[in-house]
Structure 1
C-alpha cells in the first residue's frame, strides 16, 4: 500500500532513524530549522533522510539517500544559541520522488511505503529465530544493550517491525543501516541484519581476545613490579643487596650519563634486560658485560675542538720537517678549508714515498697542528678481515676491530688516524682486509660504519685518516680510488745535509748523553757520512749511522781516550771503518757500448750502466743481468730498431748476419724491470755496432717503440737526483716528461743540462760523439768503474732490492 504526499525534509548527519524508533535530535542548520518550523505549522510530519557524507555542511539532493523515514515530531525545544532539540518517532519508510524546493528548506514529494502485515511462515520463523539468537549473543558480548531492552525487543511479534527495532539497537555505520532501511522485503531485511550481527559478533570476539591479552600482560607486569618492589623493601630491611639488580641499575645509570645515540641506547638497554635474567655465574653474562663496557666507553659524541691557526701550523710543519714544500702546502690547504667549513668531511690522505722520508712524522705534525689526538695502526702483514671489522659476538674472545679500538684509545671521535703501510696488506681464506677498508675510507659511507662486534653504526666521518705507502701498485684499485695521493720523493743531498745538522745530530747527541763540547760535525764530514755510509732516499739509515758514531765516541769519551774536537774525514773512517758505499760516478772518459741509464728503486733513484758487446756470430741476442720481462722486451725492441735503421745510423745493413750481441746490466744479483730502459739499450747497441763513443757525462731514461718514438716514464725526480749524485752533467728525458721538471729542486736544475727528446735519432745525436772525435779517443773495451787508487770498486754485501727502470 503506497501513497504520495509533500513533506519538508530534515537531512541527518551520522545518524539514521528507523520506523517505530523514538530519538532526540539536535538541529542547528538554518535550512533544517526552517523544515522543522514548516512541519510544526502543518501536521508535525517530516521526512528524515541521512547524508551520504557527514563532512558536508550544506548538502545537495545528490548528497542524500533516496530512502528515508517519515516521522512525527513529538516535542520541540529551543535551546540557547539558536539551536533546537526535537523528539521524533519513526512512522514508516518513505522514498523521495522529486525535490520541489531547495532554497529555504528541502520540500519533497514522498512516496510513503507502508508495511503490510505478514503471516508467519516456517521460513520467516526460521529467519526470525536465527536473527533473535544472534542479537542475544551480540547483546551478551557487547554489553551495550540493557537486559530489559532485550526483553522488550524480543517481545515484538511482527517480523518487519522486529528487524527495524533490532537494527536501531546495533552499533552499525550509516551505510549498513541504510541497506536495512532500503530492504522492503522482510526476508531480505532479516538476512542482511543477520549477516551484519554476525560480523559485529566476530569483531566483538576479536576485541575481547585482544583486551584479555593486553589485560593479562598488564597484570603480569604489575605483578612483577609489585614483587620486585617487595623484594627491594625486604632486602633494604635486611641490609642485603641484589647483585644482579644493582649491576643492572649501575649500567642504566651509566647509559643515562653517556648521552649515546638513540639506537645505541636501545641496544644497551636490551642487553641489560638480558643480563638481569642470567645467573651471575653464566658465561654469557661475561660476554654481555664486556659488550656493555665497550658501548659505554666509546666516544659517541665526544669530539676535540680544532685549534686552527695557519701561522702556527706552518711553524710546526717547518720545525718538524725540512723541505717537502708541496706536502706542507696541501696540509695547509686542508686546514684553511677546515677553518672556513668545520663540517666538511675529512679527506683520505695517502702519503706515498720511500722509507725514511718522514711520512709517519708528517701525520703526527698534522695532529699537533690540529690539536687532535693521534692514533697509529700498522697494516703491514694484516690478512684477517676481522682486524678491521671486528669479530662477531658468537666467537669466544670476540673484540671490536682495530679501527674501533683506536677510536677508544683516542677518546674522541675525530682523531688523526694513521694507517701505516697500507701497501703491505695481504689476503687469504680468512678474508680480505683491503675490501673491509673500503667502507672505512669512504667519506660518503663511513658515517655509518658498522663493526661486527658492536652491531650498531659508529660515525667515522669526522676522523681524519692519513695513510702511508711505499708503492701504489700493490694497493687495490677500488681502495686507491678513495684516497688523495700525495707523493713524497727522496731527499737531495742538500736536504739530507740540512736534516742531519738541524734534527738528527742534536737528537742523537741528547739521546746518548753527549754535548756539542765533546765533538762537532761540520758539513763536509756529514756529506762524507751520508755519501759513504748510507744509500737511501730517506734519512733513517743516516740517523742510525749518526747514532753509531755517537756510541763509539761515547765509549772512548768514558774511557778518557777522546779529546773534544771537530771531527775530520779521517776521524770518520777510523771510527766507522771504511766507507761502505760508492755511488757509481760518471765515467772519466767516453767508452764504446757503455751507456749510463737511470732507474727507480724503493730507496730512490740509482744510475745503471748498460753494457753491449758485439761478438762474431749469426745475429743471436743474449741478455743477462736478471732482467724482467719488460726490460727484455725493451732490449728486443731496441735491437730490432737498430737493425731496421742501420743505414741511417751508419752501420752496414748485413751486420747481423755475422754478429752476435750480448747485453748486460751489472749487479746481476739484483732483479731489474720496468719500462724506461729502451733508449739506453738502443744507444748502447748503436754505439757498439757503429764503434762510436758515448758521452761519459750524459745519462738517459725513456722507453722506445719499434718506430723509434720515445715514450714517457715515471720517477723523474728520483732519477734526476741520482744523476746529480753521480756527477752527471747532461740528462736526456722524453719530451712528455717536460712537465715533471718543476718537481726537481732548483739547486739541481741549475747545475744540470736537460734535453727533451721525442725520437731516438735525437738521443743518438746527443749521446754518440762525432766520428772525428771518436778517432781521437783511445778505445777502452773493458767497462769498469775505478777508484782513485786504481783498484776496481767492490760492492758491499747488502740486502738486494728490486730495481725498476
Structure 2
C-alpha cells in the first residue's frame, strides 16, 4: 500500500491535464464545518480506510476527481450513504502529501456543485453517480445590489471581529462575480455546518446572497451585543483590572444568556446539603460556596476556596467505626503480637473494659516511654486491630513548624490542614487509633513550637473542640485514641507530659528476647524469605548465643537483623545445592563472624582503681567502667573520656570526699605527690548524668589505698560532700545492664528501693541488691578486705 501511494503522490502533484468531469465519482465524506465550495482551494486530511480507497480510485481511474460531501453527524466514524448530505462539491486533487502519522494531506480545488443521484459501487470505496448543478447565471441590477449589500455586511463583520487577515479583506473587495463572491463569503465565515450546507445547496447566486445577508446580519447583531456587554462591564471596574473585568464579563454573559449554574458549584452544594455536617460546619461551607460563585474560576483565590471546601466537606464529621470489644479476644490479640509489656497491656485492657460500659468515656492519652526496638509503635497497631479501629501513624521527630500540627492559615495558595486532620481524612473515620511517634524529638524554631501546639490535641478536656487554623471550625478529637511514643522523658515539656499517662517500657531480658525471637521474629522472617521450616533450623542454644554474644541492646532490632542475616546466608547455601541447613552454636561463627561481645569484655578479676558503674542511655542501660590511676604530680585531678559538666562536678566531689576518707598519714604523701587521672573508656562517646558519684569515689579510694574492687559488683548513685548517697533515675534500665553483664550484686541508693517493684522477676532472681545510704557502706561492700596498704 505504501509503494502504491508513493506512485499516487507522483501522479497527483503537478498534474496539468485538462479537466473532464466524469459522471461517476468516488466519494470522500468530510466531517468538518469547513466545506469546500466551487472555486475554493482548501487542504483536507484523509486517514479513514474507505477515504484512502476513494483517494486511490480518484487518482487512478477518475482523472483526480472526487466528490466531497459532508456527513450529517461529524462524529460518525464510518457513515452510511443515508447519513451523507445529497448536495456536495466535485473537486480536483491538485496536491497530495503523506504525513508522519501515515495519513495523507490533500489540496483540493472545488469545481462545481453536484447532487448525489445513485450509488454505483460500495465494496472498497463508495462510487456514486452525480448530477452537476449550475445556476442560470443571469445578471441583473438586483443581483448587483445584493453583492454590494453582502460585501458591506461582510466587511463590517470582518472589521468588528478582528480575526481575518488583510488578504481576506482585499479578496472581498476585489471579487465582483456574484456566483464566486457568494461562494467565497460562504467559505470564509464561521457559520455552523448546517448553515454552510444550506449555502452550498443554494444553486442560484441570488438565493445564496439573500441567505448570506440574513446570516451576516444575525452575526453582526451578536457582535454588537458582545460589544455592549463589554462596555457595560468596563463601566463597573477600574482601568487595568483585567482579571476582574473578565470575571464580570462572564457573569454578565451568563445573566444575558441565562446560562446554567456551574456543575462544580452544584456538586459542592449537594454535598453541603446532603452530608451529615454539624450546623457550624454547614453554615461555613454555604458561606464559602457563595463566595466561590462570585469569583473567576481561574483566580488564585478561587483555587484556595476550592481546596478549603474539598477538605471541609470530605472530613469524617460523623463517620466512625464500631468498637469490637471482647476482652478475652483483645487479650489474646495483644499476647499473640507482643511478648511481655504486661503493664501496657493491663492499662489498655482496663480502658477497653470501661469502654464496654460507657460509650462516652474519654480516650486516654497513653505515652509509651522506652528504648528503641521494644515494640512501642507496633503496640499501637495491635490496639487498633484488637478494637476493630483504623490505624494511623505520624512521626514527630525533627518537627519544628507549629503549622504541621495546627495547619496553615488560608492566606496563600498551597495552604493545608495539619497532619492530625490529614490523617483523619485519610482514615475516613473520626475515632481511629493514631500513634504519634518520637514525641520527645520535636524542636523549636522561628516557625513556632509544635510541642505547645500538641497541648490542645492531647488534652482530654480540650480536644473535643480542636480548631485547625486551616479549617477554622472545631473538630472533635476526643474519640481518637492517641498513643504517643518517646525514648526519654526529660526532653518532653512538662505541660505536655502532664496531659499524658506515662507508661515506661524497660528493655527485654535475655529470656524475653529468646521467646520473642522464637515466637515472633523467626516465624516472620521465614515467611518473608519463603523459607520452609523443614529446610532451615536454628537451635535454641544458638538463638541464646546470638542474643548473648552478638547483641547488646534493650530492644530486639539488632537481634532481628542478625537472624535475618543467618537466614539470608542459609538461602544462599540452599540455592547452591544444600538440601537443608541446621544452625547450631558451632556454626554461628560461619554465619555471623566472630562474636562481638564475650566474657572477655567484662572484668574477669578484681583490680585496683577500676569500678563497674551503671549508666542510663536513650537506648537502654549500659555498664560503664571507671578507671583511676595515680601518676606523679602535685595532687591535681585529670579527667578524660568526654565527660559532661555534671560528671566532671561529680569527679571533683568524689576527689574531695576521697581525700577526707583517706585522711591518714599513710596516704597524705599520695595526695601531695600524685595526680589522679580519672578516665571512662570509649573516650569518643560523650557521657553525662548525676549517678556516678559513688562509683567515682570508690575508684579513687581504691587507687589511693591499693585495695582491689570486686569484679562481680556494679553500683549506681550520686554522692554528697558529706558522703550521703542520693537516689537516681532509670533504675530498671541500669539493672538490666547489670543483668546482661552477669553481675552478682548491685549497690543502689536506699531511696530507690521502691523502684524495684517495676523490675522484672527474672532480673530480681539473678541479682542481689544492697541498699546503701552513705559511702562507708559502699566501700565495705565493694573493696576486698585485708587487701592493699591497710590491714
Which TM-score applies when normalising by structure 2?
0.66
Deviation at 1:619, TM superposition (A): 1.1
Match of 2:364 in 1: 347
Residues 443-452 or 260-269, more deviating: 443-452
**Gaps in structure 2 of 5+ consecutive residues:** 1-250
Residue deviations 1:529-577 (CA, integer Å, cap 9, x gap): 12232222111111111111111211221121x3424212232211222
Residue deviations 1:579-627 (CA, integer Å, cap 9, x gap): 2334775422221111111111122111111111122332111111111
User: Equivalents in 2 of 1:470, 1:748: separation in Å?
Assistant: 22
Q: Tell me whether 1:273 sits opposite 2:287 in the alignment.
A: no
Q: Tell me whether 1:264 sits opposite 2:281 in the alignment.
A: yes
Secondary structure at 2:646 match in 1? helix
Match of 2:765 in 1: 750
Deviation at 1:669, TM superposition (A): 0.9
Matches within 5 A, 1:389-538: 389-538=406-555
Match of 2:388 in 1: 371
Q: 1:673 aligns with which of 658, 674, 688?
A: 688
8 Å Cα contact 1:372/1:415 also seen in 2: yes
8 Å Cα contact 1:357/1:491 also seen in 2: yes
Match of 2:592 in 1: 576
Q: 2:782 aligns with which of 764, 767, 778?
A: 767
Q: Tell me whether 1:638 sits opposite 2:649 in the alignment.
A: no
User: Equivalents in 1 of 2:668, 2:268: separation in Å?
Assistant: 91
Secondary structure at 1:534 match in 2? coil
Q: 2:304 aligns with which of 280, 287, 294?
A: 287
8 Å Cα contact 1:709/1:758 also seen in 2: yes
Q: 1:594 aligns with which of 607, 610, 613?
A: 610
User: Equivalents in 2 of 1:272, 1:741: separation in Å?
Assistant: 63
User: Equivalents in 2 of 1:720, 1:584: separation in Å?
Assistant: 20
Deviation at 1:751, TM superposition (A): 2.1
Match of 2:724 in 1: 709
8 Å Cα contact 1:651/1:690 also seen in 2: no
Deviation at 1:480, TM superposition (A): 1.5
Match of 2:73 in 1: none
Aligned residues: 540
Q: Tell me whether 1:726 sits opposite 2:758 in the alignment.
A: no
8 Å Cα contact 1:586/1:728 also seen in 2: no
Deviation at 1:635, TM superposition (A): 1.0
8 Å Cα contact 2:705/2:788 also seen in 1: no
Residue deviations 1:260-291 (CA, integer Å, cap 9, x gap): 11111111111111122223333332322222
8 Å Cα contact 2:574/2:581 also seen in 1: no
Secondary structure at 1:672 match in 2? coil
Q: Tell me whether 1:242 sits opposite 2:257 in the alignment.
A: no
Deviation at 1:774, TM superposition (A): 5.4
Deviation at 1:247, TM superposition (A): 3.2
Deviation at 1:744, TM superposition (A): 2.0
Q: CA RMSD in A?
A: 2.2
User: Equivalents in 2 of 1:364, 1:277: separation in Å?
Assistant: 47
Secondary structure at 1:392 match in 2? coil
Residue deviations 1:118-168 (CA, integer Å, cap 9, x gap): xxxxxxxxxxxxxxxxxxxxxxxxxxxxxxxxxxxxxxxxxxxxxxxxxxx
Match of 2:580 in 1: 564
User: Equivalents in 1 of 2:557, 2:498: separation in Å?
Assistant: 30
User: Equivalents in 1 of 2:567, 2:449: separation in Å?
Assistant: 45
Residues 406-415 or 473-482, more deviating: 473-482
8 Å Cα contact 2:705/2:790 also seen in 1: no
Match of 1:318 in 2: 335
Residue deviations 1:726-761 (CA, integer Å, cap 9, x gap): 121111111011112222221221221110010110
8 Å Cα contact 1:416/1:464 also seen in 2: yes
Q: Tell me whether 1:548 sits opposite 2:565 in the alignment.
A: yes
Q: Tell me whether 1:691 sits opposite 2:709 in the alignment.
A: no
User: Equivalents in 1 of 2:567, 2:546: separation in Å?
Assistant: 13
Secondary structure at 1:517 match in 2? coil
Matches within 5 A, 1:588-627: 588-627=604-643
8 Å Cα contact 2:365/2:482 also seen in 1: yes
User: Equivalents in 1 of 2:738, 2:600: separation in Å?
Assistant: 9
8 Å Cα contact 2:365/2:483 also seen in 1: yes
Residue deviations 1:658-713 (CA, integer Å, cap 9, x gap): 22211111111111111111111111111111111111111111111000000111
8 Å Cα contact 1:375/1:417 also seen in 2: yes
8 Å Cα contact 2:693/2:719 also seen in 1: yes
Q: Tell me whether 1:628 sits opposite 2:644 in the alignment.
A: yes
